[in-house]
Amino acid sequence: MGYWARVRNSVVTAKADVRLVDFMLLAVLCVLQYPLWFASGSWWNVVELHQKLENKQVILKQLKDRNDLLTAQVTSLQTGSHAVEELARRHLGMVSKGEVFVWVIPAKGTPNHRIKTTTRVS
């Protein structure tokens, strides 16, 4: 075997080795990329979790607003008698001394809401 035949043979062997190394590197790259795109911590999953987080934050804001309103009502009931009197008038039909209770029933063409009014008699 001549010199050039040995060189050509070593070049062919080197090309085969390079192809094998390239294939192995590509396989490693694919194995490393799989979790990034398809596993539980993938980009798609992260986007979905961000959307869920935004929805939960909106719900949390609504609940905080409702709790603030309830806290204000409780504080009003604990500190003053005006709020208690207002609730008693509205829900229990309380009438104070010197007041006349008038119940207005709407006509048939209007919505069926009951209107209660109380007027003070001097």
* CA distances from residue 3 to 8, 10, 11, 17, 96 in whole angstroms, order as listed: 9, 11, 12, 21, 122
Residues 6+ apart with CB under 8 A from 36: 42, 43
Task: State how far the Cα of 120 lies from the Cα of 115, in Å rounded to an integer.
Answer: 17
Distance of alpha carbon 42 from alpha carbon 36, whole angstroms: 5
Q: What are the backbone dihedrals phi and psi of residue 83, each rounded to the nearest 5 degrees, phi first?
A: -65, -40
pTM assigned to the model: 0.48
Distance CA 70, CA 60 (A): 15
Residue 89, Cβ neighbours under 10 Å: how many? 16
Look up residue 26 and give its two tokens: 């590509």
Q: What is the mean pLDDT of residues 65-91?
A: 87
- The per-residue pLDDT for range 12-22, each reduced to its tens digit, is 776 777 778 88
Rounded Cα distance between 14 and 8, Å, is 10
Residue-wise pLDDT tens digits, 21-41: 888 899 999 888 888 888 877
